[in-house]
Amino acid sequence: MLWTGRMRLGTFGILLVLVHVSAACEFGPIPYSVTGIVCRMTESGALLLNQETARVIQAAFRNARFPNITGERSMRLLGKVAYWLTNVQVNGLSIEQSEVELKENDAIHIAIKNVTAFFKGTLTYGYAGAWFLQLFHEVDFEIESSIDLQINIKLMCQKDQVAADASDCYLAFHKLTLHLQGDKEPGWLKQLFTDFISFTLKLVLKSQVCNEINFVAQMLANFVHDLAANFVQDEDISVDISLASVPLIKANYLESHHKGLVLYKNYSDIFTDSVFSPSLLTESRMLYFWLSEHILNSLALATFLDKRLLLTIRGEKLQVLFEMEDTEAQRKAVQMIFQGTSYNDSVAKVWSLAHPQISLQTEGTVVKSLVAAEVSIFPAGEEPLMVLYMEKEITVTIQAAYADKKLILHPSDSRIEFKVFKCRADPSGNDPSIRNFLQTMISVAAIPEVTSRIELALTSLMNSKGLHLFEIRNPEIITRKGYVIVQLDFSFPNHLLLDFLEKRL
């Protein structure tokens, strides 16, 4: 008996999306101390993903390339009967039930019950007599099968990332019936081939199906890792999502732990004092992300080093800032600063002078930054003039939320301290009216404007990574001293994996 070709069969690795269990990697004596990111998927999230299993299996079956099967059998009077099954393909597939169970400290158990699959192809057979092979025949066939499938997926760590082992796989056949030339009634030809072809086919399916499940499970594990790595990378800035410790499989949730070190050119990140503990996360929502304060600080540093913290404001935007209120003090300050030049002929630039410091507290994310700002005017027929330059230390508390597929940042409790102040209209600095006006303008208008720009930039970045494809329900962003928790329920975009399977299988 011989079968050839490469069959790419369906996968049940859909539950690998956020789960990483390590068995082969080496970790330090206190692994949680270097944990920067944690993902927890609860049982309700796993059950939701399991609902998509049938679609993934069907897509994989449709794209599968089944092996040719050859064999021979000695028959009384006929001598040796040789046969070939070729062009085997799925002609129909239905799945009645799929169940998932988390086995604590062991594996993800997936049971697929009552899989009805119809295969079609071509049967070629001939009788080998004592002297020569004769009487070749070719006939179309259809195979009707009913199968239960059980898989226990264990997850390992290879090269600091997840590898899936789905080799613990069993097929139970409740039915395997051969129909020849569409004839449903038994005849001598059907009776002749049914028994030993069915036996051969069962062996082929058991071996090939389980091998291909293992193959596709690992392929999906790599796909999920690459998807996550791409999500936390933008140009030269990225986050190392290598495993930091042996993750957990509990009866109610799956949990993975990652280093979360920020990578940027020659910048080297170090993190050894994580405050993470599994008790910080609950089990009431489908999905949780835990991020350390250190990651946000390192991302802010990388963004600063990459010279992204620069903002230019002109025209109507500039007018909105400086005309936030219509008072005598406002009109006087605008006249002194712009000297009668229109906003369209003026430009303001704002940039960070140092790495912004981020502190996560119960009341929100506290950002402290040393910022410079300058205003220049372009009088007609004259050289550009810098009419205002200031350096200030700004501290602001930001509450974050996510709704309607947009990040929402709400600034509050801002404090502003001027470090340098130079105004062309008041070179001596004796007139406090301009500084007082700018203090109010920065707090009331400038900080919200900058925050709004950051909102748009981060939303655009996340959507470019595919976040908008997920239906995220009731997300909560909860800050605590030293860390932030994002918890949510979700619907999985089934086309994401289906498209992946269509391209790879």
Domains, in order of start, for the chain: 44-228 (3.15.10.10), 232-494 (3.15.20.10)
Strand, helix or coil at 344? helix
Tell me, what's the pLDDT at 60?
A: 63
Q: In the block, which residue shows the tokens 């059998």?
A: 73
* Tokens read off for 33: 């101390």
Rg (CA), the chain: 33
Does residue 260 register a pLDDT over 90? yes
Residue % of the chain over a pLDDT of 90: 39
Confidence of residue 6 (pLDDT cuts 50, 70, 90): very low
**pLDDT digit string (tens) for 204-226?**
777 777 877 788 778 878 888 88
**pLDDT digit string (tens) for 417-441?**
999 999 998 888 777 888 889 998 9
DSSP H helical ranges for 232-312? 293-305
Tell me, what's the pLDDT at 75?
A: 65
Does residue 293 register a pLDDT over 90? yes
Distance CA 137, CA 145 (A): 25
* Tokens read off for 204: 């082929």
Question: In angstroms, how far is the first alpha carbon of the chain from the final one?
Answer: 26
Quick one: average pLDDT of 301-316? 93
Does residue 7 register a pLDDT over 50? no
Distance CA 500, CA 227 (A): 11
Does residue 161 register a pLDDT over 90? no
Comparison of pLDDT for 215 and 127, the residue scoring more = 215
Does residue 295 register a pLDDT over 90? yes
Confidence of residue 3 (pLDDT cuts 50, 70, 90): very low
Confidence of residue 8 (pLDDT cuts 50, 70, 90): very low
Distance CA 16, CA 253 (A): 13
Distance CA 276, CA 298 (A): 18
Distance CA 233, CA 400 (A): 21
For residues 315 and 344, the answer to whether their CB atoms sit within 8 Å is yes
Does residue 328 register a pLDDT over 90? no
Tell me, what's the pLDDT at 134?
A: 58
Quick one: average pLDDT of 284-311? 95
